[in-house]
Structure 1
Amino acid sequence: MLDSTSGSSRVQATIGLADLFTIGIGPSSSHTVGPMRAGHAFAEAALDRGQPVSVSCELFGSLALTGKGHATDTAVILGLAGQLPETVDPDAVAEMVATIRSEQQLKLGGHVPVPFVEGTHLIFRGDRFLAAHPNGMRFVAHYADGEPYETFWYSIGGGAVVEGGCEPPQTNVKLPFAFSSGAELLAVAERQGATIADIVRANEAAWRDDAETDAFLDSLRGAMSACIERGIRGEGELPGGLKVKRRARDLHARLMARGPRSDPSLVFDWVSLWALAVNEENAAGGRVVTAPTNGAAGVIPA
């Protein structure tokens, strides 16, 4: 049995599995997932203050310079329309955004119609970097009979966002086995005669019970497996204009023709396939698990 009285327990700003692993869509945690969350949060806050007659978003710095390639514009539009990266249907994204663009209108928070014309209500400011962070956004809501509501949001990496003037959120909890480095984690595990997994699971109890942790991990595994399956079925070119052809489907067909997965000589070919399938899904805007970023999403599933 693990002994949490051994002196490693302490209160500290920390992160858990739910901070490291989140379900979202590609291609980027900082340039897609984060902006969608920011747009969603702004929409909710704007609606709490009344019924806007118009909204706008300016993208600064890196978000503006590489936003088209990372679908930042699509992400902001979806977020403003009430979508979240963990629940939006990747197969419906293209149609949703196309409808908003053709009608030049979106339903803020999924409810209130407001005009939305790119270039007027969504502006790329690649020549300006905000002092707080290179991934900055400025949202403004206008009301018929009141002062505008303005706020800045920053996408700080891994899909996390903070509102202007706010520090990154921290959770101060008492962990039974606190550590702040890999060396400390190994030392705690050795002292307890436990595995790394044992230590991490014991710490997760500070946030939720075992059943909830199991359900969360099952959801991650399900999302990863579904991503692999989608990846090995995908065809055609990846978005972005570079004419990169998807390769996972053909590689899967070749491996299936060569024999069972248990063949030792093919093990690493299968591992490469699974990583490639996830990475291609991420590039195509599919659903992935940040681990802890979209760019690394193929590692753990493989």
Structure 2
Amino acid sequence: MMFQSSRHGRVIAISAALAAAGVFTVGPVAHAAGADSDRDGIPNRWERSHGMNPFKAADARADFDRDGLKNLGEFRRGGLLRDEDTDNDGHDDGDEVHDGTSSTDVDDADTDDDGTSDGDEDSDRDAIDNEDEDDASESCGADDDDRDADHVDDEDENENGGGVRDADSDDDGISDGDEDSDDDGEADEDEDDSASDVCSVDADDDGEADEDESDVLGSIQSFDGTTLVVMTVGGTTVSGVVTESTEIEFEDGGEDGGEDGGEDGGEDGEATTADLQPGVTVAELEFDDETGDLDEVEIYLPQA
């Protein structure tokens, strides 16, 4: 009844008081900004701008990027619905929230500002980086992204100085996966490989992971019977000791195997030290973690 008063000043005063108390909202814009039609805890406007359905509450409980953090959690923590690692620190959003430590944050790549990205930290001091803690247990559907298809997981790009959206970050004509950033004779794409990785893709079922098809590390510069020296495609040299335990194999093992490459050739696909000739193309070198000697040498069968 007081709103019908003829005293204009009194009406204004009462209206202002009620508005301040939050009894009513003036205008439709303010109401629309906070509307949540499906009552899932996420405003309509945010749902629409992020590809969600503002009339479907179930999508708040979904996990579009399979990073272990539901969409509602992404909204509350400033995450991206379709990016498993919002801040590109190598540590998946779900892991940052559920790792039981406050030292990592979904939208801060270096939460403690110590110069080391959260993914490369070791919060529980078990000698395993945060980003690698769940590698053995996560499903293939949640396996680490490789947005630029260079065979280096997004979480590992920062360690090698690469970019998650550029397959050749330094524009040298060599894919980031085929680079050897630390000059250890192992391609960047293989640095984080694990024998227990059941998510490795082998599209043609030839027993070799797709990332290793047509690999080229470089070519043999010299071999004196003990030390193998390889000139990499990047222009650096890598050397290693060949022992009796070193496996030497042809990357493209034909029906004759080593017989085509050296007089002491073995079974199909196998090569010998006689095949380690200058100029021969090297696919990959693997070093023994304990001794530092060459564990495996993969070379290409010379063309006839």
Name the structure where strand makes up a greater proportion of residues.
Answer: 1
TM-score by shorter chain over 0.5: no
Q: Which has the larger radius of gyration?
A: 2
Identify which of structures 1 and 2 has the higher relative contact order when contacts are C-alpha pairs closer than 8 Å and 6+ apart. Answer: 1
Name the structure where helix makes up a greater proportion of residues.
Answer: 1
